[in-house]
Amino acid sequence: MQDRSLTRRTVLASATATAATAAGLVGATATPAAAHRRGDRIEKIISAMSVEAKIGQLFVPYFYGTSATSPSPLDQERNLAELGVRTVAELIAKYQVGGVICFSGWANNIQDPAQVAELTNGVQRASLALPTPVPSLISIDQEHGANVRIGNGATQLPGAMALGAGRSLSDARTAGYISGAELAALGIHQNFAPVADVNVNPANPIINVRSFGADAREVGRMVAAQVAGYRRAGVVACAKHFPGHGDTGEDSHTGLPVITHSREEWERVDAPPFRAAIAAGVDSIMTAHLQVPALDPSNDPATLSPAILQGVLRGELGFEGVIVTDALNMRGVRTKYGDDRVPVLALKAGADQLLFPPDIDVAYNGVLAAVRAGEITEERLEESVRRILRLKDKAGLLGGSPYVSPKEVDRVVGARAHRRAAARIAERTTTLLVNDDGALPLRRTQKKLLVVGASPAFPTDATRTTVPELAKAFEELGYGTTQLATGRTPDAAKIDEAVAAARGRDAVVVTTDNVGATSAQRTLVARLLATGVPVVHLAVRNPYDIAHLGDVPASLASYCWTETELRAAARVIAGRVAPRGRLPVPVQRADDPAAVLFPLGHGLSYDD
């Protein structure tokens, strides 16, 4: 079988690649004449649009179903109940929306690559059937690591914090390129990544391992590298969540967080990654639904703040691209205003794309009423439409065919070369935190393993869970394994079962997931240590877990629990590769959070 390389030749359908190159997104330098022609094309489109069509271009709603025109009866019912239409094609026809966002799981948009390509082609057919035919900018949240939408068949790459542990700009750029290449082949041209938040709060419930780390400079370097990778692949990257969501203990999905940083702290901690993204040419930036009194004393959410979006992001940072709101169904942006007013206030603040309104009809008509009343001028409306059309042009949607080829999907998505690159990157990110008395790598005599502990479902496939997949990875390396998933909250009976299973084993590999001060996972680890069987600990999500686990002789962090990271961790534990990752965040002591247990940059190798 012929190997599939990482060259652009294998990445994009020819029409899309040609259009993206001509647009200057993947390395070509546009001539003044070409730029003038693109400008004329955009102005011609705008002049042909009704006010209603211009408003539609601003919205990026969700929808249910795997097909643009014939979703399942259940998905049609859901669409009808929540969107007032049966299909996404009808949604596009009714509101002339400029784009849609795809989700796996609850929205049932994603099954496999071939189906996704058929869906996006169906969305484009519906968009080109509008009175003013303009292709859709189809979006997704494919961050990788813990936040993945396309799993089955696509390459699973290490997420942001893992890449931060690897410290390699080349790896971050390659990961962005592979992700973008596969999305482009599927007909998805805007990815809401990378996360530019600096995770300085270990208790952050929403960002955490989605961040590259706690060092603003390093986060900025990684963000810029990922932006470059996405741009090379012809996909629109989106740095998020401005002005910075890394120091909050509250989830903006369920509340309105407050960032208490002073202006000086914001400049030092939160701003650098966004400045780096802008310098790297990022084409879109997503807002955060949180209050930052140092930037806007009105305490409106940043999404609705002219002081933050126009004054800081556009004025001080000089960003000229598309400003995207975070999802408008989130509680953080709905605490002060009604759903009809939120999109209006977001536009007045300076936003362009209105993402995921909770009720598209209410939101759309709220903006329409504001335009008719003169609260939002048509000139202001056209500013945002113009930016969105420029984005579509850069993505190759206006200068070429928006359709993708099924053959290209098969050739690019999950390509063998992509998977090999992902595996190598993951090996370089796995971090060895503790290795007392040379506990690792496992000795040749340690062939009988118990794999036990927390077993979260894969971000990409809920039918696959961590402990069985990790045991499988060890079996493929020649180990005999017994497995026992005890979950995040093991009871006394399950812990007793784990202790019994450890007897007669040469070593125990125990996984943890988000250990806290009162977590039963602490008891599980302590009881396993008391058996006298050598214990190896693997934190499959937060690297902070080790602070709660006492004197574990060997501890590693993988930063996520996809197949790619688990296989890499197994290879490191077995000694097939040496650990190279270094903590991108400091780990504080559990008994004294002001004291550092492991500093930022800590990471052992087998030579230490």
Q: Which of these, 543, 544, 573, lies nearest to 165 by C-alpha position? A: 543
- Neighbouring CB atoms inside 10 A of 23's CB total 24
Q: Is 211:200 a contact under the CB 8 Å cutoff? A: no
Question: To 5 degrees, how large is the angle CA 87–CA 88–CA 89?
Answer: 90
User: Catalytic residue among 197, 247, 326, 393, which?
Assistant: 326
| Dist. CA 259–CA 341, nearest whole Å | 24
Active site residue 253: yes
Count of Cβ atoms closer than 10 Å to residue 448 Cβ: 13
Task: Assess contact for 196 and 277: CB atoms under 8 A.
Answer: yes
Q: Say how far apart CA 228 and CA 172 lie, in whole Å.
A: 9
Residues 150/140, Cβ–Cβ less than 8 Å: yes
d(CA 121, CA 67): 10
In 1-149, beta strands by DSSP E: 59-60, 101-102, 139-140
Minimal CA–CA distance to 383: which of 394, 371, 372, 373?
371
The amino acid occupying position 99 is G
Q: Which of 112, 251, 253, 359 is catalytic?
A: 253
Q: What is the per-residue DSSP string for 430-495?
A: -EEEEEGGG--SPPTT--EEEEEE--PBPSS-TT-BHHHHHHHHHHHTT-EEEEEE--SS--HHHH
Provide the token pair at 159. Answer: 């997420």
| Known catalytic residue at 326 | yes
Cα separations in angstroms, 86 against 105, 145, 313: 19, 33, 38
Strands of 190-191's sheet, edge to edge?
101-102, 139-140, 190-191, 236-242, 284-287, 322-324
Q: Which of 160, 181, 170, 172 is nearest to 415 (CA)?
A: 181
Judged by DSSP in three states, 99 sits in coil
**DSSP-based helix, strand, coil % in the chain, nearest 5:** 45, 10, 45
Question: Which residues are known to be catalytic?
Answer: 253, 326
